[in-house]
Amino acid sequence: MPTMTYLQAISDAMRQEMRQDERVFVMGEDVGVFGGAFKVTDGFVEEFGPERVMDTPLAESAIIGTAIGAAVEGLRPIAEMQFSDFVSCGFDQLVNVAGKMFYRQGLSVNITVRLPSGGGFSGGPFHSQNPEAWFMHAPGLKVVAPATAEDAKGLLIRAVRDPNPVVFMEHKHLYRRVKGEVPEGRYETDFSARVARAGTDLVVIAYGAMVHTALEATADLDGASVEVLDLRSLVPLDEEAILASVRKCSKVVVVDEANQMCAAGAQVAALIAERAWEDLDGPVVRVATPDVPIPFSPTLEQAVLPQVDDVREAVRELLEY
Amino acid sequence: MSSSSIEMTEIRMPQMGVSVAEGTLVEWKKQVGDWVEADEVIAAISTDKIDTDVEAPAAGRLQEILVEVGETVEVGAVLARIATDARPGEAHSSEGTSEADVALEAPGEAGELQGDTTEADNEGSAQRGAAQRPGGRRYSPVVIRMAAEHDLDLERIEGTGRGGRVRKQDVLAYLESDANGDAAEPPMHIESPYKPDAPPPPRKREPRFAAPAPAPATGAAPLSRMRQSIGRAMVESLQTAATCTTIVEADLTRVDSARRALGVTYLPVIARATIDTLREFPALNATLDGDTLTTYEGVHLGVAVSLGAEGGLIVPVIRDAQELSVEGLAARIRDLAERARQNALSPDEVGRGSFTITNPGGAGSIIATPVINQPQVAILDTEAVVKRPVVVTDELGNDSIAIRRMTYLCMSWDHRALDGVLAARFLRALADRLEAWPVP
């Protein structure tokens, strides 16, 4: 099995699907000749030609709107937002048009919108956000957020084939920092959670880059057996997997890199409060980014984003409770 | 609930008079679970200036005590509850089943839980309630659920969580050891013989300037409850009323002759004259509560009684004093004073007066400015009767100097309720009545 970075796995997923399925094409700002701002589509225009690797104007509304039209006509577009932050310019097309098309007209909108998201590299307030909760709140959209190279590829292939609009949160800080064995060829990963590490004393529930933070924070905690649950998919949310972990461990720390208010972790905490009350042996603890913009200063950014030590401290306190 | 709900009678802090707002529980003479007869004394209370007993309003079993000894609560507050449908000799209901137990501790809650549910549900909720309750320890949902599933007594499980909290792991460990048959009994001695060194005493910062040496004192002691109570009432009166004092001189020479003939002191005669004068000036036979002035048909006369060497003062009230003669008043005042000093007044004999007389003149003082007994609007102070040379005018208009028995009638009144001219007219009318008192 070849080893790939998270970024290579995303490229591989698109390449494999484009090779096998003529309906699949990519579009976005500088995805063609330049190969994408992060070089995810490096070499694509050479292999698939400019008609399937389309450079677009700086207009996210137009990118998503065009993708919607193409999907309604039967194609399977993959639209790249250069940074997830910029999706706000295409918000109406994504939330109101794509998300409600099937409800209103019975038409499938088979689009995948890739959102390079997340911080940790001094990108500042416009290039570091985690806007997944905006779309979790919009009926008709699916939202997935892989943490590993293998899942990035499998989830993206699944997203391309899903007849619904899928918001694909790819954490750009993981692009070249996470490597792993990735199966060759085409495979799909279900929109479901995954136990990243099994344990019995406490479960840390996370997704995206925070899965790695959680694993590192709980690798050695004086012999405590800490489970890490990687949600992978936020909509649909794998409720049964969450409840199974809570039943087993009875103590829960929920980690979000997103701003705390109404984040994905808030939904997880609410689910646990509603359906796992009698399994709890302590309060549900949340670790998330406070409700502030992501600072540019590296020191301040570290102070704001959940760090390994923050998660470790929260876990330790809850273990002792 | 299948068993009938418990009929309760409440025992409340009795109303002792309009100026009494609260009382202190001094002693419980019955305990929860005790059988009490109607009118049996179950508690001692101290209300304002009175120490008295609380009697059971009905027979039954003392179900719960809501006010601890030393607690001060408002008049009307529930002190305890008596289960009036209990029977003497039968088991106290808290000694019954756990179901009853839960029902007793939280009747409303248990009623809801057990409404129309099956027998099995009843047991479950009772157990769960019990698991949460003992000793005031609190348990997490999973611990409560496990205790219910395994029928555990959580009190017997040692907690290793924060502050000795019982965690899920502790329950699991207990279950494991319990299955092996040991750890059923808690260890007899769990205290470590190791004693850590005492922490060093906190460093005391030297004051920047030396404090002046305290003045030499002969002793310090907290005020008695009665002193505190009087103090509060007096300060409150001065802060409430616009207190003024008016003084009129009166010739009691005739009163002296009359009282000697009857074998009484000055006080019942002055009281009788005051009652008659109050009937002419109803605005002074009144109470003022905020903006509401209440005048009274009858004169409910408070007579301040000093409690003697240990200090303290109490104002028993003669209700409808207008119905009593001088001799009747004398007898009633004597009786009240005697019982006041024996601490044997009933709460109904104190308070709800409409006018008060205070009588410290026996000690030789000639003028004073008394403090109004709230919420009344005036208080009459009678001072020493002294022989003085005064100018008297005979029926022909001729003046001469005579030795007469004189006194000052001092009255403090509330300027919110009346004006000075009325106070002066009242006192003058009272003096005229006394000066013309018939001698038998």
Contact A290, A259 (CB under 8 A): yes
pLDDT digits (tens, 9 = 90+) for A167-193: 999 999 999 999 999 999 999 999 999
Within 8 A of A245 by CB-CB distance, chain B residues are none
Is B167 within 8 Å of chain A by CB? yes
Long-range CB contacts (within 8 A, 24+) of B225-234: B225/B24, B225/B46, B226/B49, B226/B307, B226/B311, B226/B312, B227/B311, B227/B312, B229/B48, B229/B49, B230/B49, B230/B312, B230/B313, B233/B19, B233/B48, B233/B373, B233/B374, B234/B371
Is A321 within 8 Å of chain B by CB? yes
Contact A209, A173 (CB under 8 A): yes
Provide the residue-wise pLDDT of chain B in tens; the chain has 440 residues.
444 467 788 888 887 655 667 888 888 888 888 888 888 888 888 876 677 888 888 888 888 888 888 888 888 888 888 888 777 666 544 444 444 444 444 444 433 444 444 444 444 444 444 344 444 678 999 999 999 888 888 888 888 888 888 999 899 988 888 654 544 455 455 555 566 677 777 666 666 666 667 677 777 888 877 788 888 889 999 999 999 999 999 999 999 999 999 899 999 999 999 999 999 999 999 999 988 999 999 999 999 988 876 678 889 999 999 999 999 999 999 999 888 888 788 877 888 899 999 988 778 888 999 999 989 999 999 999 999 999 988 888 899 999 999 999 999 999 999 999 999 999 999 999 999 999 87
* Single-letter amino acid, residue A148: T
Is A222 within 8 Å of chain B by CB? no
Given A127, A171, A173, A212, the catalytic residue: A127
**A212 is a catalytic site residue:** no
B347 within domain boundaries: yes
3-class DSSP string for chain A: CCEEEHHHHHHHHHHHHHHHCCCEEEEECCCCCCCCCCCCCCCHHHHHCCCCEEECCCCHHHHHHHHHHHHHCCCEEEEECCCHHHHHHHHHHHHHHHHHHHHHHCCCCCCEEEEEECCCCCCCCCCCCCCHHHHHCCCCCEEECCCCHHHHHHHHHHHHHCCCCEEEEEECCCCCCCEEECCCCCCCCCCCCEEEECCCCEEEEECCHHHHHHHHHCCCCCCCCEEEEECCEEECCCHHHHHHHHHHHCCEEEEEEEECCCCHHHHHHHHHHHHCHHHCCCCCEEEEECCCCCCCCHHHHHHHCCCHHHHHHHHHHHHHC
CA–CA dist A135, A107 (Å, integer): 20
Residue B382: give its domain's CATH number.
3.30.559.10
Q: Give yes or no: residues B65 and B144 share one domain.
A: no
Contact A146, A152 (CB under 8 A): yes
**In total, how many domains does chain B have?**
3
How close B139 comes to chain A (CA, Å)?
8
B 121-150 near A (Cβ less than 8 A)? 140-145
Q: Give yes or no: residues B286 and B145 share one domain.
A: no
Is this prediction's pTM over 0.80? Answer: no
Is A310 within 8 Å of chain B by CB? no
Task: Of A273, A269, A267, A300, give the one whose Cα is nearest residue A286.
Answer: A269
pLDDT digits (tens, 9 = 90+) for B51-62: 788 888 888 888
B431 within domain boundaries: yes
CA–CA dist A135, A145 (Å, integer): 12
Of A201, A280, A320, the CB nearest to B142: A280
CA–CA dist B284, B294 (Å, integer): 10
Q: Give yes or no: residues B156 and B303 share one domain.
A: no
Of B142, B161, B169, the CB nearest to A278: B142
Of B142, B167, B169, the CB nearest to A279: B142
Q: Which residue of A has its CA nearest to B163?
A: A321
Q: Give yes or no: residues B298 and B425 share one domain.
A: yes
Of A251, A278, A320, the CB nearest to B145: A278
Q: Do domains A3-181 and A194-320 have the same CATH topology?
A: yes
CA–CA dist A180, A200 (Å, integer): 26
Q: Give yes or no: residues B307 and B161 share one domain.
A: no
Q: Give yes or no: residues B256 and B369 share one domain.
A: yes
Q: Tell if the CB–CB gap between A320 and B141 is shorter than 8 Å.
A: no
Task: DSSP letter for B438, please.
Answer: P
Q: Give yes or no: residues B50 and B147 share one domain.
A: no
User: How many CB atoms within 10 Å of residue B49?
Assistant: 24
* Domain-wise residue ranges, chain A: 3-181, 194-320
H/E element, B408: strand B399-414
List, in order, residues 6 or more apart from A285 with CB less than 8 Å away: A252, A253, A254, A314, A317, A318
* Topology adopted by domain A3-181: Rossmann fold (3.40.50)
Q: Give yes or no: residues B310 and B162 share one domain.
A: no
Residue B159: give its domain's CATH number.
4.10.320.10
DSSP 3-state assignment of B421? helix
B299 within domain boundaries: yes
Contact B290, B305 (CB under 8 A): no
Residues of B assigned a catalytic role: 415, 419
B108 within domain boundaries: no
Q: Tell if the CB–CB gap between A321 and B143 is shorter than 8 Å.
A: no
DSSP 3-state assignment of B290? coil
Residue B22: give its domain's CATH number.
2.40.50.100
Average pLDDT, integer, range A96-102:
97
Q: Give yes or no: residues B88 and B166 share one domain.
A: no
CA–CA dist A145, A208 (Å, integer): 5
CATH of range A194-320; options 3.40.50.920, 3.40.1190.20, 3.40.50.300, 2.60.40.10? 3.40.50.920
CA–CA dist A236, A136 (Å, integer): 9
Within 8 A of A278 by CB-CB distance, chain B residues are 141-142, 144-145
Partner residues linked to A166 by β-bridges: A112, A142
Task: Of B378, B357, B369, give the one whose Cα is nearest residue B241.
Answer: B378
B426 within domain boundaries: yes
Q: What is the distance of C-alpha B172 from the center of its chain?
A: 54
Q: Domain containing B144: what range?
A: 136-178
Q: Give yes or no: residues B300 and B428 share one domain.
A: yes
CA–CA dist A166, A155 (Å, integer): 10
Q: Give yes or no: residues B87 and B163 share one domain.
A: no
Q: Give yes or no: residues B54 and B160 share one domain.
A: no
CA–CA dist A50, A13 (Å, integer): 19
B337 within domain boundaries: yes
ipTM (interface pTM): 0.72
